[in-house]
Structure 1
Amino acid sequence: MVAASAVLLAGALFLAGCSGTSAEEEMYNALEKAVSAESSFEDQQEPLVELEKKENELYEEIISLGMKEYEKIVSLSEEALSVVEEREKRAEDEKESIMDSKEEFKAVEDISKNLDDQALKSKASDLQKLMQQRYDAYDALSAAYNEAIALDKELYQLFQKKDLKLEELEAKITEINSSYEKVAALNKEFNDFTEKYNKAKMDFYKKAGIEVEQSDAKGKTS
């Protein structure tokens, strides 16, 4: 999404504190499957940032032109619209990845009921709450981003009007700026929950006696 989106960090198992297929190890497997399901989410981050950068360059070029260069404005606007559509597609791919992660994470609730240690069970419960908050934050972020994309499309369609008035353009730009301020705030909330979850997951592994090496994966994009 806009700005940066934190990703789930993988925990590479190199030594289990218990043997067999214990509930703790089943939890590890379920939690890491949720991470793997979000691999496509990570893959979308850099391309989205590049597309946003390209679109911004086109926007700056458009507003630097006068109406005497109307044909060029139309051409650039159409190019910008295609970039917006590509952003929209990648955002949808990103969302599907999060939905896959949600499906994988459902197994955690059932597995956590088999944990004998009450302190560990409590940590597992905290993990589930954090992840649900993270998913909820993403849903709000995704909806806000889609609204912003719709406004971007309206802007580039406006640029193609020969009788476009300055007041109309300024009103649309103000609306877009407000929309992206909302996206940025929701993105920060999503990042915060992701970081809290990553930390809580490693605390759970430590309490469960499962030693892992935490992979940075792609960490946080910018």
Structure 2
Amino acid sequence: MTGYKLTGLACLVAVTAACSGENAAEQIFEEWEAAVQIEQDIAEVQDPLAEREEQENELYEEMLTLNETEEIEPLSEEAISSAEERRELMEEERSIIDEAYEQFQEGSDHIGNLEEEEQEAANEVTELMDERYGAYTELYDTYMQSVDEDMELFSIIANEEIEMEELQQQHETVNGLYSEIAERNESFNNATEQFNDAKMNFYEISELQVEAGEAS
């Protein structure tokens, strides 16, 4: 199992602005927090992903205890079907991430209207968002590759002519990808935390009073 779990963007709501001259910062706030709201939908993908990973792991462990191809085949088909569902869930998650990223970019149009210190802080936030998006892209690509290799593993274990050495090699390939996913997942989560901190710093510099909001 990959242990795949994304850290979400911090959800914030504005309380008051310090003065009437904060229009650009307020507009940026609205665009950025709209992106956060879009990403809340990822929670609906994470649990089904984890459930299918666990199911596939249990099916694989059971297949290893069986000797007859007739017994292994239905479990293999079930595991492959589950992996295909994970692929669809990941595509759905990627769509959410892309939509949120595009929404976030809407705030960039207002950065030029900020004071110099605010601009520097806002630019740092956008740079960190770009890094976060890049980290997710690498994570997504690796995860999708692992789905392909999982399906290959579930397929060959049902092949009665497969050599144990080949099965072991495929098992090691899968485990290697799981380790890579864990590393990329950690990089993404770290990037998210850095982004959340930088975003809060920008709000403070812009004298926007915000507080934690509830996920929708």
TM-score bracket relative to the smaller structure? over 0.9
Q: Shift in Å at residue 162 of structure 1?
A: 1.5
Q: Shift in Å at residue 109 of structure 1?
A: 1.8
Aligned length: 215
Asked if residue 126 in structure 1 is aligned to residue 127 in structure 2, the reply is no
Equivalent residues of 2:111, 2:119 under 8 A apart: yes
Q: Which runs of 5+ in 2 are unaligned?
A: none
**Matching of residues 56-205 of structure 1 within 5 Å:** 56-65=57-66, 67=67, 69-115=68-114, 117-205=115-203
* Matches of 1:42 and 1:114, distance apart in 2: 35
Look up the match of 1:29. Answer: 30
Equivalent residues of 2:8, 2:40 under 8 A apart: no
Q: Which runs of 5+ in 1 are unaligned?
A: none
Q: Shift in Å at residue 20 of structure 1?
A: 7.5
* Matches of 2:156 and 2:15, distance apart in 1: 57
Q: Shift in Å at residue 114 of structure 1?
A: 0.8
Equivalent residues of 1:127, 1:197 under 8 A apart: yes
Runs (4+) of structure 1 exceeding 3 A deviation are 215-218
Normalised by the length of structure 2, the TM-score is 0.94
* Matches of 2:22 and 2:190, distance apart in 1: 33
Look up the match of 1:14. Answer: 15
Equivalent residues of 2:40, 2:215 under 8 A apart: no
Look up the match of 2:53. Answer: 52
* Matches of 1:79 and 1:154, distance apart in 2: 13
* Matches of 2:118 and 2:44, distance apart in 1: 33
* Matches of 2:20 and 2:163, distance apart in 1: 72
Equivalent residues of 1:3, 1:184 under 8 A apart: yes
> Any idea what SS the aligned residue of 1:113 has?
helix
Equivalent residues of 1:148, 1:180 under 8 A apart: yes
> Any idea what SS the aligned residue of 2:13 has?
strand
Normalised by the length of structure 1, the TM-score is 0.91
* Matches of 2:18 and 2:78, distance apart in 1: 56
Equivalent residues of 1:148, 1:176 under 8 A apart: yes
> Any idea what SS the aligned residue of 2:161 has?
coil
Q: Which moved more, 1:123-132 or 1:179-188?
A: 179-188
Q: Aligned-pair RMSD on alpha carbons?
A: 1.7
Per-residue CA distance 1:38-78 (angstroms, 9 max, x = gap): 1222321122111111111111111122x2x3212111111
Equivalent residues of 2:83, 2:150 under 8 A apart: yes
Q: Shift in Å at residue 164 of structure 1?
A: 1.6
